[in-house]
A and B are shown apart, each in its own frame.
Chain A
Amino acid sequence: MSEPILTFLYNYSAIDAPYTGTGGPSGNWKEIQLATGSGVGSDTKVYTGGGINQSLPTPTAAYGRREATLRPVSGLYPVPQIYIESEMDAVMYHIPLASGQPNTNRYVFGVYVDGEVESDLYLEMWDDVTFSTHTVPTLSGSLSYPNSVFNAISTTNSAPPALWNGTTTASGVCLAGYSNRLRLKGQDNIINEAVYYSMYASIPWDLAFTHDQPVEAYRYLYS
């Protein structure tokens, strides 16, 4: 057997419909591109503020443009926009179905498995590619909110429940390390199919000022 090939996907349209491709971009879905050997970096998932209009120009914004993310005076503040910054295309692709509260959109992010995964596919977040620590403020949280700010939910089998707003672990998982990870299918064996999830970043009022770049990773078994 061979390792399966994973394609990391995002829906950059406002149409809540599944991926119909077999790896690579297809329809309203784009692929998160890896770094090339010629010096072009990989795509980056960017959580950014919305400014006075609560949104940046769509469907794309100028490459590198960001607005400050707010830290609220109390409670939690869900970061209103998620973009994929493409160094290759020199634009930031807006993901209109992500964020917003509450969010019951189902087809937001996806992973297509070309080949066979013997286990489920687990979404995890770590400090870096050693996949061994999760101590940065966005993953360890604050005194009032000792959780990762990244709250994700599997949508492979159904849309998020109406109460899911990125601030509760009742339905989503606050991603941090091995113990707080998300099963994307809900059962073992994924063969030539796509699995889906959605996620928020919610900033607690007392989170340390930080510029974190945690790593989003997928763990799986193959034979």
Chain B
Amino acid sequence: MDKRTAPVRHLDSVDGTVYGKHNKVKMVNPYLCYFIVTYGDGSVYSGNDLFTTGWDGVRQGIKTLQYKLSTGHIINIPKFKGYLPTIEVSESIEGFKMFHAINVNCLGFEEVVTYRIILKEDRISKYKIGDIIISKSKKNIKSSQWRMSS
């Protein structure tokens, strides 16, 4: 069984709705959300989806970083020294997956600025799909997946 695809249910071509006891959650379609990177030489590299992101195929020298969501939202990430996007997901032991957010960690001069792109909305949370929550941290995030700007 392919665990990468089977757990995501209730999806149509744009997004999916998950019904709970007290809440109804709408989530983006993770197959139709991806990043677009441009480089200084004008070339463009697009990611795949939220499962196989394709971030490891991004080379150093990023000029712009943009995210496209299945709902049509386009999020432009400002210029920083470097970027490390992470996908935040919950997975139940029954195999269901909920994509919460894309946390784009951006390397500033003295801190990491995180652009949290919301991927779901419901009756409880005040945030909607495509909202961005910006936070700052002095935390040193070690990863081989940092990609630097041009």
Q: For residues 167 through 223 of chain A, which have their beta carbon under 8 Å from a beta carbon of chain B? A: 188-189, 215-223
Say which one of B38-46, B65-73, B81-89 lies at the interface with A: B81-89
Whether A3 sits at the interface, judged by CB under 8 Å, is yes
| Chain A interface, DSSP helix/strand/loop, else mixed | loop
B149 to chain A minimum Cβ distance, whole angstroms, is 17
Complex Cα–Cα for A127 and B50 (A): 25
Flag B1-20 by CB within 8 Å of A: 1 or 0 each. 10110110000000000111
B69 to chain A minimum Cβ distance, whole angstroms, is 17
Q: Would you call A223 and B124 a contact (CB within 8 A)? A: no
Question: Quick one: which of B22, B84, B125 contacts A127, CB cutoff 8 A?
Answer: B22
Residues in A whose Cβ lies below 8 Å from that of B25: 130-132
Report the count of interface residues on B (CB-CB < 8 A): 42
A2-B51, A128-B20, A130-B122 known; A34 vs B89 contact (CB < 8 Å): no
Complex Cα–Cα for A218 and B84 (A): 22
Whether B103 sits at the interface, judged by CB under 8 Å, is yes
Q: Would you call A3 and B103 a contact (CB within 8 A)? A: no
* Residue positions of B touching A, CB distance < 8 A: 1, 3-4, 6-7, 18-25, 50-56, 84-96, 98, 100, 103, 122, 124-125, 142-143, 145
Complex Cα–Cα for A38 and B106 (A): 44
Q: Considering residues B3, B56, B94, B103, which has the most beta carbons from chain A within 10 angstroms of its beta carbon?
A: B94
Q: For residues 24 through 71 of chain A, which have their beta carbon under 8 Å from a beta carbon of chain B? A: 32, 34-37, 42-43, 45
A81 to chain B minimum Cβ distance, whole angstroms, is 18
Interface size bucket, A side?
Answer: 35 or more
Whether A19 sits at the interface, judged by CB under 8 Å, is no
A5-B4, A34-B1, A132-B124 known; A219 vs B94 contact (CB < 8 Å): no
Q: For residues 113 through 148 of chain A, which have their beta carbon under 8 Å from a beta carbon of chain B? A: 118-119, 124, 127-133, 135-136
Residues in A whose Cβ lies below 8 Å from that of B20: 127-130, 132-133
Whether A6 sits at the interface, judged by CB under 8 Å, is yes
Known: A133-B21, A223-B86. 8 other contacts (CB 8 A): A1-B54, A2-B4, A35-B6, A43-B93, A129-B98, A131-B100, A219-B90, A223-B55
A3-B52, A37-B6 known; A217 vs B18 contact (CB < 8 Å): no
Complex Cα–Cα for A48 and B4 (A): 32
Q: Would you call B93 and A42 a contact (CB within 8 A)? A: yes
A34 to chain B minimum Cβ distance, whole angstroms, is 4
A37 to chain B minimum Cβ distance, whole angstroms, is 7
Whether A8 sits at the interface, judged by CB under 8 Å, is yes
A41 to chain B minimum Cβ distance, whole angstroms, is 8
Q: Would you call A132 and B23 a contact (CB within 8 A)? A: yes
Question: Quick one: which of A1, A34, A129 contacts B3, CB cutoff 8 A?
Answer: A34
Complex Cα–Cα for A133 and B123 (A): 11
